[in-house]
A and B are shown apart, each in its own frame.
Chain A
Amino acid sequence: MIDWKPLFTRRGVVGTLVVGTCMLVPIIATLIDEPYYMNLFARLMIWAIAAISLNLILGYGGLISFGHALYLGIGAYAVGICSYYDINNIFIQVPIALGVATIISFVFGGIALRTRGVYFIMITMALTQMIYYLSISIEEYGSDDGLIIYVRSEFGTNIINLDNPFHRYYLIFLVMVGCLYLTYRLIHSRFGYVIRGAKSNELRMEVIGHSTFRYRLVCFMIAGVMCTLAGVLSANVEKFVSPDVMHWTRSGELIFMVVLGGMASILGPLTGAMVFWLISEILARFTEHWHIIFGPFLILVVLLSPRGIDGMLGKRGSGSG
């Protein structure tokens, strides 16, 4: 029998509302004839996937990666460059994207995880900036003008056609739900316990016989690969990719979303991404300089509730979501 009890807590209600909204947006948007909202939520969910993946290392692992947008870039450019060479089959594009992300996250993680604290923040940012400038310098792929994608990824069947906004939307939705489920399973496995334990006391975890470096490297790679999926989806929504996608401010925004939603909570990054986007959308209607209001708002949230929106929903039993 399924235990429905968690659904009726405050956290459960909010979670159901957030996921439910994402699920129903296309229907509502069609009914009120405002397809704009469907696009808005599609983008929002892509950011949520990126934030969910960042939460694995930032929230659960306690490692402040300031270069996570790199993997958005890898995913988006994999689609863009493949499409440039007329390779539009998603079953070729995705393995290429994930393969490149695996190799890069292995190398970058292997370097960055040898450092701690501020050094980790700086080195993850520097490594991402390296690839950012690489993408600017390659004329062939548009340099800083970006690369227009003329054909969306193809599944080779009409059952899923990414030119259809509904298909596109629900593919993103399914990937997002899959990432949420994967996160849940990961952090409730022995692997997740080691990652979380190492966050609170790394030395103790070593003395118990776990190489925290290896666990963290694997976690770093999982997060990178998951974020790459968001990049692949992003390229298919925008039909465009430019170096901006992996600018360091993007990485910063991802951190905002995770902190806003509540670090180390499963749904936190999703609510964080949602609130982040909705507030910036609303503010942007009033003034071009919406950051001036948004900045202090973020500071207030962090001051009043260090665990973000999730922290406002009451205490949790065991520090897990």
Chain B
Amino acid sequence: MLSVQGINSYYGLTQVLFEMSIEVKAGEIVTLLGRNGMGKTTTIRSIMGLNETRNGVIFFQNQEITNWPAFRIAQAGLALAPEGRRIFPNLNVIENLIATANNKNELTDPWTVDKIFALFPALEARAGIAGNRISGGEQQMLSIGRALMTNPHLLLLDEATEGLSPLLRKQIWSSIVKLKDNRQSILLIDKNLESLLRIGDRHYVIEKGHVVWEGDSAQLASDEELQLRYIGLG
């Protein structure tokens, strides 16, 4: 479905990604792991066309999307719920969802506002409230809901549970599990290794802009030295 092959990305003159290669297959949940500043978010930004990539190619659904404009990449079926959520503050909850509603790839049974409310019941009660007046957890749900409204083939979640209370984190994780049950492909960045091991199919460990390890949950769970060295969890 998604295949990133040896891309180099830069912020200005500083190279951030070095020959980065990852792959996501249909129906899979893949995670990017690693300490802060190692290039996880940059990888996702490069996939979405927000960072210019040099060398290397990015394929999505058998189409080369390298350095396409962001809106065309999104229309091809990639949706990002970004770090920091970035809700439109001057639109209310429903308006945020409808603004992004799209079904360019003509999926049968597309997402609707009601389905998003069923996935995140907390949002329904806040339907008419401005995007900047709802809680951080609600904003996170809205951010994911907004991405889903574009009916993506692949959902990219960057730090979906960052800064949330344990209870809210649990709600978000259970929603992600529901998405997984619906065979939604997801590429995920998070720090909560326990949850990632539980719902992720495959994992990449990223160190200084390239992949240093890849494998499935069982392999990662059994390798405590790896967890300690690259992810900082013991």
Which residues of A come within 8 Å of B, CB atoms? 190, 193-194, 196-197, 199-201, 203-212, 264, 317-320
Q: A207-B74, A207-B82 are in contact. Are A197 and B96 (CB under 8 A)?
A: yes
B161 to chain A, nearest CB (A): 20
A196 to chain B, nearest CB (A): 6
A213 to chain B, nearest CB (A): 9
* Cα of A200 to Cα of B86 in the assembled complex, Å: 10
* Cα of A208 to Cα of B48 in the assembled complex, Å: 10
* Cα of A13 to Cα of B96 in the assembled complex, Å: 29
| B150 touching A196, Cβ below 8 Å | no
Which among A203, A208, A318 is the interface contact of B100 at CB below 8 angstroms? A208
B233 at the interface (CB under 8 A from A): no
Which among A197, A201, A206 is the interface contact of B71 at CB below 8 angstroms? A206
B162 at the interface (CB under 8 A from A): no
| B95 touching A318, Cβ below 8 Å | yes
| A208 touching B146, Cβ below 8 Å | yes
| Interchain Cβ contacts under 8 Å between A and B, 23 examples | A190-B99, A193-B98, A196-B95, A196-B99, A197-B96, A204-B82, A207-B48, A207-B50, A207-B82, A208-B146, A209-B74, A209-B79, A210-B71, A210-B74, A210-B100, A211-B71, A317-B92, A318-B90, A318-B91, A318-B95, A318-B128, A319-B91, A320-B91
- Which residues of B from 80 to 109 have beta carbons under 8 Å from A? 80, 82, 86, 88-92, 95-96, 98-102, 104
Q: What does the 1/0 interface line of B60-76 toward A look like (CB < 8 Å)?
A: 00000000011100110
B197 at the interface (CB under 8 A from A): no
| A209 touching B150, Cβ below 8 Å | yes
B129 at the interface (CB under 8 A from A): yes
Q: A207-B48, A207-B70 are in contact. Are A200 and B88 (CB under 8 A)?
A: yes
B204 to chain A, nearest CB (A): 22
* Cα of A196 to Cα of B99 in the assembled complex, Å: 9
| B contact residues around A197 at 8 Å (CB) | 88, 90-91, 95-96, 99
Q: A197-B96, A318-B129, A318-B130 are in contact. Are A208 and B91 (CB under 8 A)?
A: no
Q: Which of A201, A206, A212 has the most CB of B within 10 A?
A: A206
Residue of A nearest to B149 (CB): A208
* Cα of A211 to Cα of B74 in the assembled complex, Å: 10
User: Which 5 pairs across A and B sit closest by C-beta, in order of nearness?
Assistant: A209-B74, A193-B99, A318-B92, A319-B90, A197-B88
| B71 touching A209, Cβ below 8 Å | yes
* Cα of A197 to Cα of B82 in the assembled complex, Å: 16
A266 to chain B, nearest CB (A): 14
| A contact residues around B75 at 8 Å (CB) | 209
Residue of B nearest to A319 (CB): B90
* Cα of A193 to Cα of B48 in the assembled complex, Å: 22
| A contact residues around B147 at 8 Å (CB) | 208
Residue of B nearest to A213 (CB): B71
A-B contacts besides A318-B90, A318-B130, 8 pairs, CB < 8 Å? A190-B99, A193-B99, A196-B88, A196-B90, A200-B91, A204-B82, A209-B79, A318-B95
| A contact residues around B99 at 8 Å (CB) | 190, 193-194, 196-197, 205, 208
